[in-house]
């Protein structure tokens, strides 16, 4: 597991932790599972105790499984084991297998069930549910991924330059580091070791810097699409799939790879275009 995979997984997990939609989904799932009482809890616990039990177990299980699922999925994608939905299923299976152990321990502590018997009974269900959730999430993500920017008013390609009033002081300060002949109409930025290849409508140049700092400084003027790529918001025309992998299509037809961590950002930027 290399540093790139760990970094992408960390970024994705932090985004999950800030997602209101995810927390709402976990609350809703906890209530539904509490009402149905799977894994024998319907018979062992009354409704109030069952709701309380699953209100604690559901989010805890999610956050125990999510890091391993995401890491395994990213590893499978890097290895080229198959299309994204298959890699997600592999991640779900790994997470489900690992999650069986703490769930069996919990059942043993609360209900007196033998560890071996609990694992054998729970494993098929937990793994199947984990695989289904991971694969369904990836399938829905792929369905939502093919997004195009709204058509612009007549006049051709978007001008990505900005006036002093349109950019933050931080963005203006960053752009002031560019050679004057490049102007301000950014197209893309590519990370190359300790340097950045900055491309504008007038040409390109190498400057020393980090892509994360550039993306933070430029803020809503563009979108990070990959650990090595940033694109001006007005230059991204569509988000599509090529061979199962997402790519950001620029207005000049070029395609940039889109990292898993930044898919959501690209989609939201396009819908707001």
pLDDT digits (tens, 9 = 90+) for 89-111: 999 999 999 999 999 998 888 88
Taking residues 117-122, report their average pLDDT. 89
Taking residues 192-197, report their average pLDDT. 90
Using a cut of 0.85, tell me whether the model's pTM lies above it: no
Is the predicted pLDDT of residue 231 greater than 70, yes or no? yes
Question: Tens digits of per-residue pLDDT, 121-136?
Answer: 899 999 999 999 888 8
Query: pLDDT grade, residue 189 (50/70/90)?
Result: very high
Q: What is the pLDDT of residue 164?
A: 40
Give dist(CA 74, CA 157) in Å, integer.
35
Cα atoms in the 13 Å half-sphere on the side-chain side of 132: 6
Is the predicted pLDDT of residue 155 greater than 50, yes or no? no
Instruction: Please name which of 88, 54, 52 lies closest in space to residue 70, comparing C-alpha atoms.
Output: 88
Question: Tens digits of per-residue pLDDT, 243-255?
Answer: 656 788 999 999 9
Share of the chain above pLDDT 70, in %: 84
Q: What is the pLDDT of residue 63?
A: 93
Is the predicted pLDDT of residue 160 greater than 60, yes or no? no
Q: What is the pLDDT of residue 157?
A: 41
CA distances from 104 to 66, 118, 133, 197 (A): 18, 5, 20, 52
Question: Tens digits of per-residue pLDDT, 51-86?
Answer: 999 999 999 999 999 999 988 988 887 777 777 788
Is 91 exposed, middle or buried (CB count within 10 Å of its CB: 0-12, 13-18, 19+)? buried
Question: Tens digits of per-residue pLDDT, 8-40?
Answer: 677 678 777 877 888 998 999 999 999 999 888
Give dist(CA 238, CA 270) in Å, integer.
7
Query: pLDDT grade, residue 158 (50/70/90)?
Result: very low
Is the predicted pLDDT of residue 153 greater than 50, yes or no? no
Q: Which residue has the higher pLDDT, 34 or 1?
A: 34
Q: What is the pLDDT of residue 8?
A: 67
CB–CB of 229/189 below 8 Å? Answer: yes
């Amino acid at each position: 597991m290399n540093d790139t995979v760990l970094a992408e997984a960390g970024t994705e997990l932090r985004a999950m932790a800030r997602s209101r939609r995810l927390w709402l989904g976990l609350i809703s799932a906890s209530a539904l599972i509490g009402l149905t009482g799977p894994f024998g809890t319907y018979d062992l616990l009354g409704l109030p105790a069952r709701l309380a039990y699953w209100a604690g177990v559901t989010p805890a299980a999610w956050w125990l499984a999510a890091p391993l699922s995401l890491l395994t999925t990213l590893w499978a994608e890097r290895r080229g084991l198959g299309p994204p939905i298959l890699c997600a299923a592999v991640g779900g299976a790994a997470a489900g297998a690992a999650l069986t152990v703490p769930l069996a321990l919990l059942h043993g502590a609360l209900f007196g069930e033998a560890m071996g018997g609990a694992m054998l009974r729970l494993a098929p269900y937990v793994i199947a549910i984990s695989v289904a959730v991971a694969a369904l999430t990836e399938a829905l993500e792929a369905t939502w991924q093919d997004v195009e920017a709204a058509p612009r008013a007549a006049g051709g390609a978007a001008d990505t330059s900005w006036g002093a009033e349109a950019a933050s002081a931080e963005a203006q300060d960053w752009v002031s580091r560019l050679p004057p002949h490049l102007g301000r109409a950014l197209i893309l930025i590519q990370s190359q070791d300790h340097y950045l290849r900055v491309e504008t409508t007038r040409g390109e140049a190498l400057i020393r810097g980090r892509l994360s700092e550039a993306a933070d400084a430029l803020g809503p003027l563009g979108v990070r699409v990959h650990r090595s790529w940033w694109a001006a918001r007005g230059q991204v025309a569509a988000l599509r799939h090529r061979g199962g992998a997402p790519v950001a299509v620029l207005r000049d037809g070029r395609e940039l790879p889109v990292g898993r961590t930044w898919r959501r950002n690209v989609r939201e930027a396009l819908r707001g275009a």
